[in-house]
Protein backbone atom coordinates (compact mmCIF):
# COMPACT_ATOMS: atom_id res chain seq x y z
CA UNK A 1 0.00 0.00 0.00
CA UNK A 2 1.45 3.37 -1.05
CA UNK A 3 1.61 6.08 1.57
CA UNK A 4 -0.38 9.19 0.80
CA UNK A 5 -1.92 12.22 2.43
CA UNK A 6 -5.53 11.71 1.32
CA UNK A 7 -6.89 11.33 4.84
CA UNK A 8 -4.95 14.38 6.02
CA UNK A 9 -6.32 16.40 3.12
CA UNK A 10 -9.83 15.26 4.01
CA UNK A 11 -9.39 16.43 7.60
CA UNK A 12 -8.10 19.78 6.33
CA UNK A 13 -11.12 20.14 4.04
CA UNK A 14 -13.44 19.37 6.94
CA UNK A 15 -11.72 22.00 9.06
CA UNK A 16 -11.99 24.56 6.28
CA UNK A 17 -15.70 23.85 5.82
CA UNK A 18 -16.31 24.17 9.56
CA UNK A 19 -14.49 27.53 9.57
CA UNK A 20 -16.51 28.76 6.58
CA UNK A 21 -19.77 27.77 8.23
CA UNK A 22 -18.64 29.33 11.50
CA UNK A 23 -17.91 32.63 9.75
CA UNK A 24 -21.56 32.77 8.70
CA UNK A 25 -22.77 32.60 12.30
CA UNK A 26 -22.94 35.48 14.74
CA UNK A 27 -21.01 34.79 17.93
CA UNK A 28 -23.96 35.54 20.17
CA UNK A 29 -25.02 33.82 23.36
CA UNK A 30 -27.33 30.88 22.75
CA UNK A 31 -26.40 30.56 19.06
CA UNK A 32 -26.21 26.79 18.90
CA UNK A 33 -25.00 26.79 15.29
CA UNK A 34 -22.02 28.93 16.25
CA UNK A 35 -21.21 26.45 19.03
CA UNK A 36 -21.70 23.50 16.69
CA UNK A 37 -19.38 24.84 13.99
CA UNK A 38 -16.81 26.04 16.54
CA UNK A 39 -16.75 22.58 18.10
CA UNK A 40 -16.52 20.95 14.66
CA UNK A 41 -13.58 23.20 13.77
CA UNK A 42 -11.76 22.38 16.98
CA UNK A 43 -12.32 18.64 16.64
CA UNK A 44 -11.21 18.79 12.99
CA UNK A 45 -8.08 20.65 14.13
CA UNK A 46 -7.37 17.95 16.70
CA UNK A 47 -7.91 15.13 14.22
CA UNK A 48 -5.80 16.73 11.50
CA UNK A 49 -3.00 17.44 13.97
CA UNK A 50 -2.92 13.81 15.09
CA UNK A 51 -3.06 12.60 11.48
CA UNK A 52 -0.24 14.97 10.51
CA UNK A 53 1.86 13.66 13.38
CA UNK A 54 1.39 10.05 12.30
CA UNK A 55 2.27 10.90 8.71
CA UNK A 56 5.35 12.88 9.76
CA UNK A 57 6.48 9.87 11.76
CA UNK A 58 6.11 7.66 8.66
CA UNK A 59 7.93 10.18 6.46
CA UNK A 60 10.80 10.53 8.93
CA UNK A 61 11.51 6.81 8.63
CA UNK A 62 12.76 7.53 5.10
CA UNK A 63 15.51 9.72 6.62
CA UNK A 64 16.54 7.65 9.63
CA UNK A 65 18.77 4.57 9.64
CA UNK A 66 16.61 3.00 12.33
CA UNK A 67 12.83 3.28 11.90
CA UNK A 68 12.46 2.19 15.54
CA UNK A 69 14.23 5.36 16.65
CA UNK A 70 11.43 7.35 14.99
CA UNK A 71 8.82 5.26 16.79
CA UNK A 72 10.41 6.25 20.11
CA UNK A 73 10.12 10.01 19.47
CA UNK A 74 7.56 12.07 21.35
CA UNK A 75 5.40 14.36 19.23
CA UNK A 76 7.47 17.50 19.82
CA UNK A 77 10.62 15.64 18.80
CA UNK A 78 8.86 14.44 15.65
CA UNK A 79 8.26 18.11 14.84
CA UNK A 80 11.90 18.99 15.48
CA UNK A 81 13.10 16.12 13.29
CA UNK A 82 10.64 17.19 10.58
CA UNK A 83 12.36 20.58 10.65
CA UNK A 84 15.79 18.97 10.57
CA UNK A 85 14.86 17.01 7.44
CA UNK A 86 13.14 19.87 5.61
CA UNK A 87 9.51 18.85 6.06
CA UNK A 88 8.97 22.03 8.10
CA UNK A 89 10.88 25.31 8.18
CA UNK A 90 12.35 26.39 11.52
CA UNK A 91 9.59 28.99 11.87
CA UNK A 92 6.99 26.37 11.03
CA UNK A 93 8.41 24.04 13.71
CA UNK A 94 7.79 26.76 16.30
CA UNK A 95 4.22 27.25 15.08
CA UNK A 96 3.61 23.49 15.09
CA UNK A 97 4.91 23.29 18.66
CA UNK A 98 2.36 25.98 19.57
CA UNK A 99 -0.41 24.06 17.76
CA UNK A 100 0.53 20.94 19.69
CA UNK A 101 0.58 22.80 23.01
CA UNK A 102 -2.84 24.21 22.21
CA UNK A 103 -4.12 20.77 21.27
CA UNK A 104 -2.88 19.37 24.57
CA UNK A 105 -4.79 22.12 26.36
CA UNK A 106 -8.02 21.52 24.41
CA UNK A 107 -7.98 17.97 25.75
CA UNK A 108 -8.15 19.33 29.31
CA UNK A 109 -9.88 22.71 29.09
CA UNK A 110 -13.41 22.83 27.81
CA UNK A 111 -14.06 26.52 28.45
CA UNK A 112 -15.63 28.78 25.88
CA UNK A 113 -12.80 31.31 26.12
CA UNK A 114 -10.20 28.67 25.42
CA UNK A 115 -12.21 27.36 22.46
CA UNK A 116 -12.37 30.87 21.03
CA UNK A 117 -8.61 31.29 21.56
CA UNK A 118 -8.06 28.08 19.60
CA UNK A 119 -10.05 29.52 16.71
CA UNK A 120 -7.49 32.31 16.40
CA UNK A 121 -4.77 29.76 15.58
CA UNK A 122 -6.70 27.97 12.88
CA UNK A 123 -6.19 30.22 9.82
CA UNK A 124 -2.39 29.94 10.13
CA UNK A 125 -2.70 26.26 10.97
CA UNK A 126 -4.67 25.59 7.78
CA UNK A 127 -1.89 27.17 5.71
CA UNK A 128 0.79 25.24 7.57
CA UNK A 129 -0.95 21.90 7.29
CA UNK A 130 -1.48 22.42 3.54
CA UNK A 131 2.26 23.05 3.15
CA UNK A 132 3.09 20.00 5.24
CA UNK A 133 0.74 17.85 3.16
CA UNK A 134 2.63 18.75 -0.01
CA UNK A 135 6.01 18.07 1.62
CA UNK A 136 4.85 14.73 3.00
CA UNK A 137 3.46 13.57 -0.33
CA UNK A 138 6.81 14.36 -1.99
CA UNK A 139 8.61 12.14 0.53
CA UNK A 140 6.07 9.35 0.07
CA UNK A 141 6.29 9.59 -3.73
CA UNK A 142 10.10 9.52 -3.64
CA UNK A 143 10.19 6.43 -1.44
CA UNK A 144 7.57 4.51 -3.45
**120: buried, middle or exposed (CB in 10 Å: 19+, 13-18, 0-12)?**
exposed
Q: Cα 144 from chain centroid?
A: 24
Reported as a single tens digit per residue, the pLDDT across 74-113 is 999 999 999 999 999 999 999 999 999 988 776 555 667 7
- DSSP H helical ranges for 24-111: 32-60, 67-71, 75-84, 90-106
DSSP assigned state of 26: -
User: In the prediction, which pLDDT does 117 show?
Assistant: 85
Structural domains of the chain sorted by starting position, each given as residue range(s) with its CATH number in brackets: 6-142 (1.20.120.330)
Amino acid sequence: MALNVQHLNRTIATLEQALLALAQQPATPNNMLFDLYRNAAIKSFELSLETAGKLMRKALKAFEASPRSVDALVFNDVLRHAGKHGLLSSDAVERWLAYRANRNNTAHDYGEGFANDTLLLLPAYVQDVHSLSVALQKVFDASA
